[in-house]
Chain A
């Protein structure tokens, strides 16, 4: 019972990070009908920027209270610029090209980002500096630490903020209009290119925060971390129904739960044949299962015939 509760806590924390990243996929998909493969790498760049600027500032003797917000702002700005650049260079010129073209540039962008990151930050794991005493609280036999609590609260707050932006501002209305019909939106005076750029930047800002959360949660960052994370967040977006914001949040949390419960119990279920090192396989199985049984996702509309 303690294990169950513990896995649920871990799953929810991890799931809230997936949800943040999944929102980036789903926002772009909703508006452009495009899978932004490079999104996972933006998360990685965000994590790396936070880590390296934070370590540098702590090294200069700047107190953590000041260093953390500054480095987070730096990472968010950097990632927003990156997101803008990716859209501008790799996707915008190909908006009317055949489907295959932007998919290929997307994979190209993620390879470039991965290798640039490796050249800049090296192949080693970077560890997250200890900023404050990370107290663990226990209840009902399970433990949760301060970082996990902060991650969960922050993720929920950001998601709530995003919902407000999308549903209650002019910008959000423009985004929804483009998602519904790009040409009609343009005729109504929406600056389509500008809104698309802003969407990429919003998604990238959330990716930067997610990068911070992942590296804080595991205490590590690595140039290759964006790849699997991106794949899982995409799975979360598909699980919830890609293009649907609430779906991405639900999908993220669910995927986090499935993964942590799966990893916790796979040993018992398979009689010890598979261990928790198969954790990364669950997301993939979920992806296949969703595509087989409910390709539109839990909250999505039917997508199958939109060729």
Chain B
């Protein structure tokens, strides 16, 4: 009981810290960093969604960002004046569906794409899924880039702008709001929105992990043949995991479009998929805390690189030899290799996963765990 009491206290402290986070960041580092934190939250949401696919069910999805793109374009099309320009006869003023209607729609459309891709692929070996998703991630960009002619559906490489901001209970999140005399700028409001969604994804992931479905996923991941011998419908459960991951990606995409107010195909490159995968792998596949840690580390990495690598190179060589962007990708690629070779279960491994991937460093888990809590 005492332990329970203590964990409740810890949780309360964590909640308060998170609620104060935008104000603290704003005060210490400035407004632009609150925006960076917002994006970090979005990435954590994405990583948690991918974790369902890669971490729980053990399926490698290399085009995860494509589902994010589908969700983002769903809201971009229905929540901006773009369709009014493209089809003035049909939508004289644009569609402007409310965000809260588009959000489930975006999740469903992305999930539908997931089923379309997964159904033919998932009855085969896992490798095929990896390559098909890799291809899908690239194809979706070709379509987004080219569907501006002859009918201007996606506005091509220029992207869609002037997307309606998200509003909660009739209050737009895009302007500063005063609540109890405290000013909440837009970035702060979006932070709370993303925080709520991240908490929801964490909750759902946790429940899934301990459910019958979650256990079946883990059984499939560990040994598909054995799992199917135990009466698990492996194909449908794999499809379910893949579709749920896709839905979560689609919902995050809609949030992204509302937050950014602008979407274009270049936000959805292969590199983004790799980055999200890297978050999951680095943190610890199948472990929620690990994935969150991976998300935070990698979302902040580009900023850190930008602030350290460029000045360091300027000081040493007098010019920038390696731009932080490609250095970041190089680090991601290296991280994927090194993690798989030396610490396949991630920085914060889940217990089951560690046994399975055979990492044999029993002491390391506790020390890393303590350091982050």
Q: How far is the CA of A100 from the CA of B356 in the complex (A)?
A: 12
Query: Which secondary structure dominates chain B's binding surface?
Result: helix
Please tell me if B9 contacts chain A, counting CB pairs below 8 Å.
Answer: no
Q: B62's contact among A107, A119, A304, by CB below 8 Å, is which?
A: A107
User: Which residue of chain B has its CB nearest to the CB of A109?
Assistant: B337
Q: Choose, from A171-179, A252-260, A280-288, the stretch at the interface.
A: A280-288
Closest chain A CB from B144 CB (angstroms): 12
List, in ascending order, chain A residues with CB within 8 A of B329's CB. 111, 114-115
CB <8 Å contact, B60 and A100: yes
Please tell me if A77 contacts chain B, counting CB pairs below 8 Å.
Answer: no
Question: How many contacting A-B pairs (Cβ < 8 A)?
Answer: 138
Q: A104's contact among B132, B330, B336, by CB below 8 Å, is which?
A: B336
User: Which residue of chain B has its CB nearest to the CB of A234?
Assistant: B131
Q: B333's contact among A111, A272, A292, by CB below 8 Å, is which?
A: A111
Q: With A100-B58, A291-B120 in contact, do A278 and B131 touch (Cβ < 8 Å)?
A: no
Q: How far is the CA of A185 from the CA of B58 in the complex (A)?
A: 31
Q: Which parts of B109-143 form the interface with A (CB within 8 Å)?
A: 117, 120-121, 123-128, 130-132, 134-136, 138-139, 142-143
Please tell me if A228 contacts chain B, counting CB pairs below 8 Å.
Answer: yes
List, in ascending order, chain B residues with CB within 8 A of A90's CB. 337, 341
Q: How far is the CA of A280 from the CA of B134 in the complex (A)?
A: 13
Q: How far is the CA of A280 from the CA of B141 in the complex (A)?
A: 11
CB <8 Å contact, A35 and B336: no
Report A235-257 CB contacts with B as 1/0, cut-off 8 Å: 10010000000000000000000
List, in ascending order, chain B residues with CB within 8 A of A272's CB. 150
Q: With A103-B130, A280-B142, A291-B124 in contact, do A111 and B274 touch (Cβ < 8 Å)?
A: yes
Report A94-113 CB contacts with B as 1/0, cut-off 8 Å: 10011111111101111110
Which residues of B are in contact with A by a Cβ distance under 8 Å?
54, 58, 60, 62, 117, 120-121, 123-128, 130-132, 134-136, 138-139, 142-143, 146, 149-151, 224-225, 270-271, 274, 277, 281, 285, 322, 326, 329-330, 332-337, 339-341, 344, 356-358
Which residues of A are in contact with B by a Cβ distance under 8 Å?
34-35, 37, 89-90, 93-94, 97-105, 107-112, 114-116, 118-119, 227-228, 231, 234-235, 238, 272-273, 275, 277-278, 280-281, 283-284, 287-288, 291-292, 295, 303-304, 306-307
Which 5 A/B pairs are nearest by Cβ-Cβ distance?
Answer: A108-B336, A111-B333, A112-B333, A108-B337, A292-B120
